[in-house]
Chains A and B, each alone.
Chain A
Amino acid sequence: DQQVKQNSPSLSVQEGRISILNCDYTNSMFDYFLWYKKYPAEGPTFLISISSIKDKNEDGRFTVFLNKSAKHLSLHIVPSQPGDSAVYFCAASSGSSNTGKLIFGQGTTLQVKP
């Protein structure tokens, strides 16, 4: 039962262009969503998050959009840089529970070409 899905295993973009990573979820109890970035042989690092009361959150080159009715979120990176090449994980949690456990998608490998 994959409650958080990232249907694109990989994405390749040119430096300077926009990268759009997508994520779908099925559980309506999720009310907090996060994106993590992961380099090989390292742990995930937090990138950006969004609460379900918002539909957009922006932090520098990174913007996350949330469409609750479609149960879909996306991460936009503009402009993309070679250093952004990594695996990106979407994650979700339920703030109403007494555990902050995160449910992760399978990840999307982003390659930014110089």
Chain B
Amino acid sequence: NAGVMQNPRHLVRRRGQEARLRCSPMKGHSHVYWYRQLPEEGLKFMVYLQKENIIDESGMPKERFSAEFPKEGPSILRIQQVVRGDSAAYFCASSLGDRGFDEQYFGPGTRLTVT
């Protein structure tokens, strides 16, 4: 059973470009979370999605960031017009259920560098 997959593992973008990060949850998991880790900091919750629905986006910046989890295919975190401050590791996690005690399995992360 494959774990959570994220691609690309490394992404370099110039300021002003768009970044698209993909996450394929574990088989059978319909709950996806995105977290961001800035240098020297812990992981910060961004958004929680179920298939075709955004359930909690309280951690998402109000502008330039969006996320989706379509009926078919991976979840996508999209960052438009990237700035240097967007440079971070972005982790996706998936779980079977939506409660705090439902174990979240993390992917290896996408390291975004904005030049």
**A interface residues with partner B (beta carbon < 8 Å):** 4, 6, 31-32, 36, 41-46, 49, 51, 89, 93-95, 97-107
Residue of A nearest to B106 (CB): A43
Rounded to whole angstroms, the CA-CA distance of A103 and B48 in the bound complex is 13
Q: Which residues of A contact B59 (CB under 8 A)?
A: 101
Known contacts being A89-B43, A99-B48, A99-B55, is A43 close to B108, with CB within 8 Å?
A: yes
Rounded to whole angstroms, the CA-CA distance of A106 and B40 in the bound complex is 8
Are B107 and A43 closer than 8 Å at their CB atoms? yes
Are B101 and A51 closer than 8 Å at their CB atoms? yes
Q: Which residues of B contact A97 (CB under 8 A)?
A: 100
Are A93 and B43 closer than 8 Å at their CB atoms? no
The 9 lowest CB-CB distance pairs between A and B, nearest first, are: A93-B100, A43-B106, A104-B42, A32-B100, A99-B56, A106-B42, A104-B43, A101-B45, A95-B100
Are A41 and B108 closer than 8 Å at their CB atoms? yes
A-B pair count, CB < 8 Å, reads: 76
Residue of B nearest to A2 (CB): B42
Identify which of B11-19, B62-70, B76-84, B91-99 touches chain A: B91-99
Point out the residue from A41, A45, A102 that lies within 8 Å of B100, measured CB to CB.
A102
Q: Which residues of A contact B93 (CB under 8 A)?
A: 43
Are B42 and A100 closer than 8 Å at their CB atoms? no
Q: Confirm or deny: B104 has a beta carbon within 8 angstroms of a beta carbon on chain A.
A: yes
Are B98 and A99 closer than 8 Å at their CB atoms? yes
* Sampled A-B contacts (30; CB under 8 Å): A31-B100, A36-B106, A41-B108, A41-B109, A42-B108, A42-B109, A43-B4, A43-B91, A44-B43, A44-B106, A46-B105, A49-B101, A89-B43, A93-B99, A94-B100, A95-B99, A97-B100, A98-B98, A99-B98, A100-B31, A100-B100, A100-B101, A100-B102, A101-B58, A102-B35, A104-B43, A104-B44, A104-B45, A105-B42, A106-B41
Rounded to whole angstroms, the CA-CA distance of A107 and B38 in the bound complex is 12
Q: Confirm or deny: B52 has a beta carbon within 8 angstroms of a beta carbon on chain A.
A: no
Rounded to whole angstroms, the CA-CA distance of A97 and B56 in the bound complex is 11
Q: Which residues of A contact B55 (CB under 8 A)?
A: 98-99
Q: Which residues of B contact A104 (CB under 8 A)?
A: 35, 42-45
Rounded to whole angstroms, the CA-CA distance of A43 and B110 in the bound complex is 10
